[in-house]
């Protein structure tokens, strides 16, 4: 069975393991990022019904505990990866509060809006294809996000599972090839879902 990272439901759950793994200044930066993200996302919930912050903390747990990431900008970007896409927050606000590098990483993983007359699926596919040219650090942000999204895919309706599985295999799994931990995790995950292939 693929390893699942769902033990951090709140900052209080995360702070002790983070403090054991990371320098104090990185933990402080993450605390600020989590507080900012919680304010931005407000009462938003995931499709499973859980508070949005749980997804952000899952992605952070995946990065720190699973993939052993230590780069503070990458970790902060993981916490903030959906704020521009899913809230009124702008890239400029991210840059002002967390620095231009974090803002750039968040921008890489932010799906563009769909303009009138555009096909939503085509816009998303173009965004996913563009990730093949993303900097390595931005790819790591996307991989942590996608592991969080698919680690409990079985909780979603079957048709959604099939569509999201196809998309992940086509566009995200190839991105994991350069990162041994993510490559191994996605290989195990694909084995769990081999009936879909």
Please confirm, yes or no, whether 73 is among the known catalytic residues. Answer: no
Q: Which of 31, 71, 86, 167 is catalytic?
A: 86
Size (the chain), residues: 197
Give yes or no for residue 133 having a pLDDT over 80: yes
Asked if 146 and 128 count as a contact pair (C-beta separation under 8 A), the reply is: no
Residue 98 resides in a domain: yes
Instruction: Identify the active-site residue in 13, 31, 71, 85.
Output: 85
The answer to whether residue 177 scores a pLDDT higher than 80 is yes
Structure token pair of residue 13: 């759950």
The C-alpha atoms of residue 93 and residue 84 are separated, in whole angstroms, by 9
Residue 165: which domain range? 11-196
Q: What's the pLDDT score for residue 121?
A: 87
CA 131/CA 127 separation, integer angstroms:
7
4, part of any domain? no
Q: In this model, does residue 123 exceed pLDDT 80?
A: yes
Q: Determine whether 43 is an active site residue.
A: no
User: What is the CATH classification number for the domain harbouring 185?
Assistant: 1.10.3210.10
For residue 52, tell me if it sits in a domain: yes
Query: Within a domain: residue 189?
Result: yes
| Count of domains observed in the chain | 1
**Per-residue pLDDT at 37:** 98
Q: Does residue 1 sit within a domain?
A: no
Q: Per the confidence metrics, is the pTM higher than 0.85? A: yes
- Domain for residue 160, yes or no? yes
Domain-embedded: residue 85: yes
């Amino acid at each position: 069975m693929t390893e699942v990272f769902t033990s951090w439901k709140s900052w209080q759950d995360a702070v002790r393991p983070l403090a054991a793994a990371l320098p104090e200044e990185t933990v402080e930066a993450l605390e600020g990022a989590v507080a900012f993200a919680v304010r931005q996302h407000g009462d938003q919930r995931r499709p499973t019904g859980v508070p949005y912050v749980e997804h952000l903390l899952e992605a952070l747990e995946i990065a720190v505990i699973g993939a052993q990431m230590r780069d503070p900008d990458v970790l902060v970007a993981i916490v903030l990866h959906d704020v521009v896409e899913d809230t009124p927050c702008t890239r400029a606000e991210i840059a002002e509060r967390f620095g231009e590098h974090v803002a750039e990483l968040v921008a890489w993983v932010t799906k563009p809006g769909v303009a009138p007359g555009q096909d939503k699926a085509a816009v998303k596919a173009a965004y996913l294809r563009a990730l093949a040219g993303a900097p390595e650090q931005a790819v790591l942000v996307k991989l942590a996000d996608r592991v969080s999204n698919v680690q409990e895919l079985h909780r979603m309706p079957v048709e959604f599972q099939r569509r999201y599985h196809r998309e992940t295999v086509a566009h995200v799994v190839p991105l994991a090839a350069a990162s041994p931990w993510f490559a191994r995790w996605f290989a195990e995950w694909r084995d769990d879902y081999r009936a879909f292939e």
